[in-house]
Amino acid sequence: MEQYDTIRIRFDGPICMLQINRPEANNTINDLLIAEFQDVLQRYRDTITVLVIEGLPEVFCFGADFQAIERSLAGGEAKGQDPEPLYNIWLDLATGPYVSVAHVRGKANAGGMGFVAACDIVLANETAIFSLSELLFGLMPACVLPFLNRRIGFQKAHYLTLMTQPISVQKAEAWGLVDAYDANSENLLRKHLLRLRRLSKKGITRYKRYMGDLDGSLAQARTQALAANLEVFTDMDNLDKIARYVTTGVFPWEE
């Protein structure tokens, strides 16, 4: 089996368990994580029936790797991540020929919310909290919002974006972001997988294709989402704020 640096995978029959594993970087998203995630999908999407995405016990995924952005800026290369590969990963989670399950423990923030919102099923434990912090740095969750709007509706996604504060797992369930949660989320996940095992690959593939045809909003939103993401992540003022936060811990509003 292929070995990866930023993720861990294991298989239980037709079920693939994928763990985001960057403890040294607060489980943030960098180019290597995106490339390794893409590799897993390319290798296994047509054979697995279920893909479970997990993080670490304290943090599911915290969004873009600001330290990587600061390093590129310090090296004279003012750029953020190319948003298209990550958007395409989320699009595959939403429409691909398998059941995607997010198992959330701890913090899901910014781009981490993209993984959550894109999945077919979201399970969580009682420590899970959910937030969109982008506007604090002059950014916006441009690529997350098409998936989040589809899952919880425009106004709730709008409120999360503007307030930048985390919401509890209880509120997330009430809003429809989380399908089920429990103090023992591992047992909750096991119960769901026992049921999902009964679904055939052909049945899942046909159903996901049909659902994707019913709602083509994610593909339609891609061009606008990518353009908006590039606009804010190539703004030097925003990049300077990110770099200062990484090097000094000073937030933009503390100027």
Active site residues: 65, 134
Residue tagged 């999902």 (tokens): 196
Closest by Cα among 191, 119, 116, 202 to 160: 116
Partners of residue 9 on adjacent β-strands: 18
Partners of residue 23 on adjacent β-strands: none
Structure tokens at 207: 């159903």
Question: Is 125 in a helix, a strand, or coil?
Answer: strand
Closest by Cα among 194, 185, 7, 15 to 98: 15
> How far is it, in rounded angstroms, from Cα 84 to Cα 45?
19
Closest by Cα among 50, 46, 55 to 12: 50
> How far is it, in rounded angstroms, from Cα 254 to Cα 15?
47
